[in-house]
Amino acid sequence: MKKIAHIFLILFSSTLLLNCEEDQFESSLDYVSFSDVTYNSSVDPGSTSTKDITVYSTTISSTDRVFDIVVDLDETTGDVNSYEVPTSVTIPANSNKGVFTINLADVNLDCFNYVGLKLMPYEGVNPGSTSILTYYQKPSDTCELEVSGTLDFTFDSYASEISYEILDVEGNVVTSGPSEAFTDGTASSSIPVTLCDGRCYSLVVYDAYGDGLATPGEFSLTLNGTVYASGGGDFGDSTSTSFQVFD
């Protein structure tokens, strides 16, 4: 009889332990997070815009749940007056989805501005990781002031491997080249470049072989006497520099 009782106690303890482990596993899945790790948005010059952000929870409740939103200052570079983040987001009852809106303004915007977003815990619901909103001033349709200069290359022995692109802030190709490949043995080349004052760009230099520009190889982008991008050495397949033109 004692043996039977002992066996029953072992089975009961095992079942209790298993249930506890299952409860721990289920509770670990009770969390809320943003729908994406990164978001992108733009603002027209001198204007404002909005960006809707969605959050999801892994569980559904019969009552509304309100999660506090905090701006992660360690991940934020935008001017405090260029963004407005609400203090909370509500996931309605019987739903696992909530939406909040961020207001953006063209105030002291750099080429790329970032706002870090964090959700805070709510009644045992754990938050996911920080998400980043990247926003920028959208290029206007007209270029009020052009700024001219040159993109200068000093090549290594393999000039034919080098090409380049200049992209605007939305990733559109503004100019690229060469129209015909540089010739191996060419010492240098200077390409005229004209961009718009106040706008943001990225210069991307490519090397087809994947070893960059060996000494004495280098490049530089100079507009109206100001060097906006430069580089050289072993940069692999490509190297990119973002900049904003100021005349």
pLDDT digits (tens, 9 = 90+) for 126-184: 999 999 999 998 888 889 899 999 999 999 999 999 999 999 999 999 999 999 999 99
Phi-psi region of 169 (alpha: psi -120 to 50; beta: other; left: phi over 0): alpha
143 in Cβ contact with 196 (< 8 Å): yes
Residue that is written with structure tokens 């007056």 in the block: 81
Residue 2 has pLDDT above 50, yes or no: no
Residue 8 has pLDDT above 50, yes or no: no
Residues in contact with 62: Cβ distance below 8 Å, sequence separation at least 6, in sequence order: 93, 94
236 in Cβ contact with 211 (< 8 Å): yes
Q: What are the contacts of 169-173 at 24+ separation with CB within 8 A?
A: 169/42, 169/111, 169/112, 169/136, 169/137, 169/138, 169/139, 169/199, 169/200, 169/201, 169/202, 170/42, 170/138, 170/139
| Residue 34, number of CB atoms within 10 A of its CB | 23
Question: Which pLDDT does position 21 carry in this prediction?
Answer: 41
7: burial class by Cβ within 10 Å (0-12, 13-18, 19+)? Answer: exposed
| Residue 214, number of CB atoms within 10 A of its CB | 14
Torsion of CA 155, 156, 158, 161, to 10 degrees: -60
**Residue 11, SS3?**
helix
- Beta bridge partners, 69, equal 119
Residue 39 has pLDDT above 90, yes or no: yes
Q: What is the mean pLDDT of residues 217-226?
A: 97
Question: Which pLDDT does position 5 carry in this prediction?
Answer: 43
The overall average pLDDT reported for the chain is 89
* Percent of the chain topping pLDDT 90: 78
110 in Cβ contact with 25 (< 8 Å): no
- Beta bridge partners, 135, equal 41, 113
